[in-house]
Amino acid sequence: MSRFLNGLRSWLVMTSVIAMGFLLKGFRDHTFLYEKVYTCKPDLVNGLQARTFGVWTLLSSVVRCLCAIDIHNKTLYYITLWTFFIGLGHFLFELFVFGTVAPTVFILAILTVASTSILGMLVGLRHLEAEPGSRQKKRN
């Protein structure tokens, strides 16, 4: 396996672990979401919204960790890539369309991690294709 893919696997595990930290904060106390994330409209944040955010975070974290374990699974790889696109899209919409988040250091860090992850995974696709035996045989 290429060095790049090994690095990408480590990156995916790191983003998964960090997401688990946010998950725990979101489930324990929803004030985290309006103090750090949705700072422009904190009145919209409630326990239900925090738990929903937590479930999404749990799902994306599990998918990213599984991809790190089985990075050659193309379907899982694309699903993982989409978790970053969806997360990035969510925060961009909240920032520019709905106005619920402000461009704080925290939000900019989330946007940077999502963007970096998307770029890394797109580059990783080229590495997966270049590896011998990584192409699946066509079925007749």
Give 61-104 pLDDT, tens digit per residue. 999 999 999 999 999 999 999 999 999 999 999 999 999 999 99
- Region 20-26: mean pLDDT is 82
Domain boundaries, the chain: 3-130
Give me the pLDDT at residue 129, please. 86
- Region 51-55: mean pLDDT is 89
* pLDDT at position 41 over 60: yes
Band of pLDDT at residue 139, cut at 50, 70 and 90: very low
Q: Is 126 exposed, middle or buried (0-12, 13-18, 19+ CB in 10 A)?
A: exposed
Q: How far apart are CA 135 and CA 140, in angstroms?
A: 15
DSSP class of residue 135 equals S
